[in-house]
Amino acid sequence: MGKAFQFYPEAASSFAGQIDNLYFFLVALTTVMTLGIVAVALFFFVKYRRRSDDECPEEIEGNIMFEITWSVIPLVVCLGIFFWGTNIYMGMVQAPPDSVPVYVVAKQWMWKLQHPNGRSEINELHVPLGQNTRIIMASEDVLHSFYVPAFRTKMDVVPGKYTSLWFRPTKIGTYRLFCAEYCGTSHAGMNGWVHVLSEADYAAWLSGNVANESMEEAGERLFTENKCNTCHAATGNTQLGPSLNGVYGKSVTLKNGRTVTVDDAYIRESIFQPLAKVVAGFNPVMPTYETQLNEQQIMQIISYIKTLKPVDGQEGGHE
């Protein structure tokens, strides 16, 4: 927005610096290697130009030492770059446990974002400076990709599953949010802004508008509206289906003997495809809610289930 011409994108997340270091190392390597090879080639080109038509240079057989040198050195350099990058990447895939979630639903051609307290936004994201923020994403239609260049982070949004990314903003400011995976006619229009605010500004922004119900409240309402509670106890004992108190984050044994951890993806799957992974001791009777609930509502229900505390002497679902 009216910014001057620049060669270097803003760096505003905790891993932007690390990635840029490697990036600039690679730029230097590319420049030095390319100029080096071209310089040598041009030097030979001029120095050994044909001076007479009957010239016949002496044969030079290959040289095994040269071959080994220019195979091994690139290999070692490549492996070094591989380990360097993989090391940074390992820090990027696992969100720290204290991350605050923001739920994102992508659809042609907009971003719908919802904070745990219920505040929702479209194509705008407000986050406080220095807070570990985890973006949990689902798509209502096709592939999209959540991309904030200033944070050096990006992740595809894949219909049919949850994907996520996390970041810690390190600089107050307003940054571009793009959809990076081609998604149809208005793909270029599927973008917005990320606002990194100071602690105080963020609090003011949060309290600015709390007319909505929180995600948990919405989830609780959906839970009763859709009659989930006829089979799944939220606070009491096991009924027709596994009770859900304290179930989030636990692992449960399935009918086929395997175990699965109750996380966002498993809950989502159990609502959309209930028969895929049935908990041991229960009958496969639950119908799918694919047509009744959308991705955003599922996220609200998950937020609600997360709040359900274990009841004494009773661990829901854990048979």
Q: How far is the CB of 192 from another protein (least distance, A)?
A: 12
Check binding of 302 to another protein (CB under 8 A): no
What's the rounded Cα separation, in Å, for the pair 234 and 310?
Answer: 9
DSSP-derived secondary structure for 112-144: EEE-TTS-EEESEEEEETT--EEEEEEESSS-E
Check binding of 93 to another protein (CB under 8 A): yes
- Which C-beta is closer to another protein: that of 8 or that of 309? 8
Token pair recorded at residue 205? 């922004």
Select from 84-92, 115-123, 188-196, 288-296 the region that touches Cu ion (CB under 5 A). 188-196
Residues 116-175 that bind another protein (CB under 8 A): 141-143, 145, 147, 149-150, 152-156, 158-161, 163
**Which residue is associated with the tokens 């239609």?**
141
Check binding of 190 to Cu ion (CB under 5 A): yes
What's the rounded Cα separation, in Å, for the pair 202 and 204?
Answer: 5
Q: How far is the CB of 184 from another protein (least distance, A)?
A: 6
Check binding of 107 to Cu ion (CB under 5 A): no
User: Which of Cu ion, another protein, none does residue 230 bind to, with CB < 5 to 8 Å depending on kind?
Assistant: none
Residues 164-223 that bind another protein (CB under 8 A): 176, 178-189
Check binding of 285 to another protein (CB under 8 A): no
What's the rounded Cα separation, in Å, for the pair 171 and 157?
Answer: 26
- Which C-beta is closer to Cu ion: that of 145 or that of 303? 145
Token pair recorded at residue 112? 């719908």
Among 183, 196, 222, 299, binds Cu ion (CB under 5 A): 183
Check binding of 277 to another protein (CB under 8 A): no
User: Which of another protein, Cu ion, none does residue 40 bind to, with CB < 5 to 8 Å depending on kind?
Assistant: another protein
Select from 78-86, 98-106, 117-125, 211-219 the region that touches another protein (CB under 8 A). 78-86
Check binding of 144 to Cu ion (CB under 5 A): yes
What residues contact 306, with CB distance under 8 A and at least 6 apart? 216, 248
What residues contact 107, with CB distance under 8 A and at least 6 apart? 139, 140, 141
What residues contact 160, with CB distance under 8 A and at least 6 apart? none
What residues contact 91, with CB distance under 8 A and at least 6 apart? 15, 18
Q: Which residue type, as a one-letter code, is found at position 142?
A: V
User: Which of Cu ion, another protein, none does residue 256 bind to, with CB < 5 to 8 Å depending on kind?
Assistant: none
Q: With CB under 8 A, what is the number of residues at the site for another protein?
A: 90
87, containing H or E segment: helix 64-93
Q: Which residues bind Cu ion (CB under 5 A)?
A: 144, 179, 183, 190
